[in-house]
Amino acid sequence: MTSQLSASPSAVTSPVTASSAAAPQPPSWRNRLTRWDTAYTPYALIAPFFLIFGAFGLFPLLYNAVVSLRTWRLDDPASDGWAGSANYTAVLGDGRFWNAMLNTVGIFLLSSVPQLVLAMLLAAVLNRRMRWRTGLRMGVLLPYITPIAASTIVFGALFANEFGPINYLLSTAGLDQVDFRAEKWSSWLAIATMVNWRYIGYNALIYLAAMQTVPKALYEAAVLDGAGAWRQLWHITVPSIRPAVVFTVILSTIGGMQLFTEPLLFDPESREATGGSDGQFQTIAMLIYRTGWKELDLGRAAAMSWVLFLIIVVLAAVNGLMTNRLGGGRR
What does the pLDDT average to over 208-221? 90
Residue 55 lies in a domain: no
Say if residue 227's pLDDT is above 70: yes
Q: Predicted confidence band at 328 (pLDDT cuts at 50, 70, 90)? A: low
| Rounded percentage of the chain residues whose pLDDT exceeds 90 | 43
What does the pLDDT average to over 208-217? 91
Per the model's pLDDT, the better-predicted residue between 324 and 150 turns out to be 150
pLDDT of residue 327: 63
Per the model's pLDDT, the better-predicted residue between 1 and 27 turns out to be 27
Residue type, 254: I
Please name which of 121, 103, 192, 128 lies closest in space to residue 155, comparing C-alpha atoms.
Answer: 192
Question: Containing H/E element for 70?
Answer: strand 70-71
Residue 57 lies in a domain: no
Q: Are 205 and 137 in contact (CB under 8 A)?
A: yes
Say if residue 265's pLDDT is above 70: yes
pLDDT of residue 325: 74
**Total structural domains within the chain:** 1
Say if residue 6's pLDDT is above 50: no
Say if residue 18's pLDDT is above 60: no
Residue 44 lies in a domain: no
What does the pLDDT average to over 308-326? 84
Give 317's contacts (C-beta < 8 A, 6+ positions apart): none
pLDDT of residue 206: 94
CATH number of the domain bearing residue 231:
1.10.3720.10
Q: Are 304 and 290 in contact (CB under 8 A)?
A: no
Provide the residue range defining the domain that includes 136: 85-326
Q: Predicted confidence band at 270 (pLDDT cuts at 50, 70, 90)? A: confident
Q: Predicted confidence band at 276 (pLDDT cuts at 50, 70, 90)? A: confident
Say if residue 3's pLDDT is above 70: no
Residue 63 lies in a domain: no
Summary mean pLDDT of the chain? 86
Residue type, 58: L
pLDDT of residue 161: 81
- pLDDT tens sequence across 78-115: 888 888 899 999 999 999 999 999 999 999 999 989 99
- pLDDT tens sequence across 119-130: 999 999 998 888
CA distances from 166 to 160, 176, 182, 255, 324 (A): 8, 11, 15, 27, 38
Q: Please calculate the CA angle 208-212-216 and round it to the nearest 5 degrees.
A: 130
| Rounded percentage of the chain residues whose pLDDT exceeds 70 | 91
Identify the weakest region by mean pLDDT among 141-150, 179-188, 202-211, 319-328: 319-328
Residue 223 lies in a domain: yes
- Residue 73: beta bridge partners? 297
Residue 210 lies in a domain: yes
Q: Are 71 and 81 in contact (CB under 8 A)?
A: yes
Angle between helices 59-68 and 298-326 (to 10 degrees): 120
pLDDT of residue 202: 93
pLDDT of residue 5: 43
pLDDT of residue 196: 93
Question: Containing H/E element for 154?
Answer: helix 148-158
Residue 40 lies in a domain: no
pLDDT of residue 55: 92
Q: Is 38 helix (H, G, I), strand (E, B) or coil?
A: helix
Residue 129 lies in a domain: yes
